[in-house]
Each structure stands twice: as structure tokens, then as C-alpha cells.
């Protein structure tokens, strides 16, 4: 086989964790991987740090140790972390009405929506009710003002419905109202800057040369697309298609320059493993305490299992969201510990935290699969990891 089809894997992997390396290599041979990286930490020690493949569709740029990539909704974990830091400091009450911090949010019957409802996708604001263009999405003030004025799609607090893009604006605006900083700046000031974690919301132009090109998943036929959309409720259409975004949009300078906290975090697998490692370490990373143990535990406080009102058609089972992240649960999305938790990104990426095992994992890639969650490449890596943990 040529190197194009079986790229060399770089990095290191402790002998005990050889199955992770094997699964990572198999992702290239058997699961269509283009370029990717995976990092695993156990009790704060990096036991696997691997990368390989290509940073572009034309196979002209090798994936390097410091290649960055848009990780889509894997960004939501760091956004939730910002809110939990403020709550840990007594500056934000997760059981307070959102309107206590963001008065305009009380419009359209939302005066009783709680901060915890934003974190757990239970605010009923899965997407805008009026048409919302990409240009609109890049406008923080416009997007947050529309959400503040919007009527919920369902009774807040009763069910979860995935807030694919709006999550970052909702949680992020509360972070801004409390701290004075947008979540990207807050995360950099409080976490990634001091701890040297190579992750940011959006991407400065000076870093664009390190960014991998995202590649579309195989396109569905027109009839398949029509069948998919015919199953979606108005709340789901608002979440997933208002506006429609994908690899083409995420490769642009405008997307990277914007603040879209739920979907345009850029980082390495090492950075994702470190951010989720804060939670796996019960609030500590590399000897630094970021959250109290109680606050770190609160992140995975389940808010009730249900068939998700946005993603339900794509799952054969109920799921449960904590206060910002998804629980592994009986489905084992984040390994066999049902109380492990994490977040997937559209197309395949993943961050995982398992405090009981002391394990964190970051997986990033640029060839997007068709899955919103539980991509087979991610699943293979997690199964390999837990075969030796």
C-alpha cells in the first residue's frame, strides 16, 4: 500500500496501551481516517499521544504534532467548564433564573428558566424561530438578542433537546454577563493560558497555518436527505438546519474568526484530553486546581434520562445530559462506567472523562463521518482503551 493509504503514525504509546495504537492505526486502514490524533491520560500522566495522516484532502500536508482542528461540539465541554468555574467561585448560581444575570432573557415566558436548564439542553431554545443566516450567526449581539426574545419550543426544564449551536450563545452570554468576558477570552484567561493548553474558541488568523482542512462526510442522496428532514420536528430543524453548517463553512476565515462557543473550538487531541482531564482529575490538572472536587462532580449531575427532542430520531435509546456533558449511561458512549461523561463533536471528535478510572481521552480528526455522536472510530478507540484499564 502507498503511504497515502496507510500513513505513518507518530508519537508515543506506553506498552500497556498498545491496543489504543492498534485501534488508531486500524482507523486509517479500515474506517476511512484521513488525518487524526488521539491522546489518553491516566491519573494525569499521558500514556498515549499519537497522530498521523494528512491535514488536507489533497494529501499535501502531513498531520503534525501541533496540528489544530475544529472539533465542533467537543467544544461544549470547555464552555461548560467556564460556567462551573464561575459557580465554584460563588459568582453564578446554577439554580437561579437566567434572567437574574441576563434580564432581557425573561421575555416570552422564560422568566423561570434556570441556568442549569441552559447547561443541560433543557431551555427549549434548540434553535432560532426566525431564519438565521451564517452572517447572523457570526454576530454575537444579534444572535443572543434573538434568543433572549424567543419563545421556547417546549416547556423548559421538562425534557432535553440538543442545542447544537445555541448552547454556546446561551451559556456564553451568562458567562459574559457575570465575568465581563466572552467565553473564549474567559477560557484563555482562566484555564488554557495559565495551563498552556493548546485550545481556543475560534482561531486567530496567525494560527491558520496549523489548522487542518475539514472534509465532508459522504453525501446523502437527495431522497435520503428528504427522508431525514421529513422526520425532524420544528425544534430539531431549528437546531440542525438554521443555519446549516458543515465542513465548507468551518474551513473559512469568517467561521474561525467568529465566537461560536458550541461549535468552533480549535485544538489538538492533547488539548482536548487536558481539558477533559480537569474533570477526570476531579478538578485538578498538572498539579493545578481549576475546580473544587464538589464543583467537578457537579458537572456530571444527571438531569433526567429521556429521548432527546432533537436527536431522538437518531438514537434507539434514551440519553442523559449532566450539567454540560453527556453521561456514558447504559449505552456506554464513554466506556463501561455509566458515570463516565464527555462530549462528541459533529463528524467524529470526542472528549472523555472518567474520574473513577482517572482517565481522560481526546480524539480529533478532519474527515467527518455522518454521525453526530458515537462515530465508529471514536468507539474503537474507547473500546481499546477500556480493554486495558
Indicate which residues carry an active-site annotation. 73
Residues linked to residue 288 through DSSP beta bridges, in sequence order = 285
- How many CA atoms within 13 Å lie on the side-chain side of 37? 27
Measured CA to CA, the distance from residue 99 to residue 342 in angstroms comes to: 28
Q: Give φ, ψ of 70 to 5 degrees.
A: -65, 125
For 107, the enclosing helix (H) or strand (E) is none
Specify whether the CB–CB gap between 199 and 184 falls below 8 A: no
Over its C-alpha atoms, the chain yields an Rg (Å, rounded) of 19
The pairing of strands 288-289 and 305-306 is: unpaired
Q: Give φ, ψ of 310 to 5 degrees.
A: -105, -45
Measured CA to CA, the distance from residue 202 to residue 260 in angstroms comes to: 7
Cell of 325: 456533558
Specify whether the CB–CB gap between 27 and 263 falls below 8 A: no
Handedness of CA 204, 208, 210, 212 (dihedral sign): positive
Measured CA to CA, the distance from residue 359 to residue 336 in angstroms comes to: 12
| Residue owning grid cell 499519537 | 50
Measured CA to CA, the distance from residue 112 to residue 115 in angstroms comes to: 10
How many residues in total does the chain contain?
389
Three-state DSSP string of 235-289: HHHHHHHCCCCCHHHHCCHHHHHCCCCCCEEEECHHHHHHHHHHHHCCCEECCEE
The pairing of strands 9-13 and 45-53 is: antiparallel
**Residue 15 preceded by cis peptide, ω within 30:** no
What is the DSSP secondary structure assignment for residue 72, as one 8-state letter? Answer: B
Helical H segments across 157-221, by residue range: 166-179, 183-187, 193-195
Specify whether the CB–CB gap between 385 and 373 falls below 8 A: no
Specify whether the CB–CB gap between 256 and 203 falls below 8 A: yes
Amino acid at each position: 500500500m502507498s503511504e497515502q493509504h496507510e500513513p505513518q503514525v507518530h508519537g508515543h504509546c506506553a506498552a500497556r496501551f498498545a491496543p489504543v495504537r492498534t485501534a488508531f492505526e486500524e482507523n486509517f486502514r479500515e474506517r476511512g481516517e484521513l488525518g487524526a490524533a488521539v491522546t489518553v491520560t491516566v491519573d494525569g500522566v499521558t500514556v498515549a499521544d499519537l497522530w498521523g495522516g494528512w491535514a488536507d484532502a489533497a494529501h499535501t500536508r502531513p498531520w503534525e504534532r501541533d496540528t489544530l482542528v475544529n472539533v465542533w461540539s467537543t467544544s461544549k465541554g470547555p464552555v461548560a467548564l467556564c460556567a462551573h468555574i464561575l459557580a465554584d467561585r460563588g459568582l453564578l448560581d446554577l439554580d437561579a433564573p437566567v434572567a437574574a444575570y441576563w434580564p432581557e432573557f425573561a421575555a416570552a415566558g422564560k422568566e423561570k428558566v434556570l441556568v442549569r436548564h441552559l447547561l443541560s439542553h433543557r431551555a427549549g431554545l434548540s434553535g432560532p424561530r426566525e431564519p438565521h443566516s451564517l452572517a447572523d450567526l457570526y454576530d454575537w449581539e444579534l444572535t443572543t438578542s434573538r434568543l433572549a426574545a424567543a419563545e421556547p419550543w417546549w416547556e423548559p426544564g421538562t425534557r432535553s433537546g440538543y442545542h447544537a449551536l445555541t448552547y454556546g450563545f446561551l451559556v456564553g452570554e451568562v458567562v459574559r454577563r457575570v465575568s465581563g468576558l466572552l467565553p473564549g477570552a474567559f477560557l484563555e484567561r482562566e484555564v488554557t493560558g495559565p495551563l498552556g493548553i493548546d485550545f481556543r474558541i475560534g482561531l486567530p488568523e496567525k494560527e491558520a497555518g496549523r489548522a487542518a482542512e475539514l472534509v465532508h462526510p459522504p453525501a446523502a442522496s437527495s431522497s435520503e436527505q428528504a427522508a431525514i428532514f421529513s422526520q425532524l420536528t420544528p425544534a430539531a430543524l431549528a437546531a440542525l438546519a438554521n443555519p446549516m453548517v458543515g465542513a465548507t463553512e468551518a474551513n473559512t476565515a469568517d467561521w474561525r474568526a467568529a465566537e461560536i462557543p458550541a461549535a468552533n473550538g480549535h485544538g489538538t487531541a492533547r488539548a482536548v484530553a487536558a481539558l477533559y482531564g480537569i474533570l477526570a482529575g476531579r478538578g485538578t490538572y498538572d498539579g493545578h486546581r481549576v475546580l473544587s472536587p464538589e464543583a467537578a462532580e457537579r458537572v456530571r449531575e444527571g438531569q433526567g434520562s429521556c429521548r432527546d427532542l432533537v436527536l431522538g430520531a437518531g438514537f434507539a435509546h434514551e440519553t442523559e445530559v449532566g450539567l454540560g456533558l453527556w453521561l456514558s449511561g447504559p449505552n456506554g458512549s464513554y466506556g463501561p462506567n455509566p458515570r463516565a461523561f464527555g462530549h462528541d463533536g459533529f463528524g467524529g471528535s470526542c472528549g472523555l472523562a472518567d474520574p473513577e478510572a482517572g482517565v481522560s481521552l481526546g480524539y480529533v480528526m478532519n474527515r467527518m463521518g455522518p454521525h453526530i455522536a458515537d462515530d465508529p472510530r471514536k468507539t474503537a478507540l474507547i473500546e481499546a482503551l477500556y480493554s486495558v484499564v
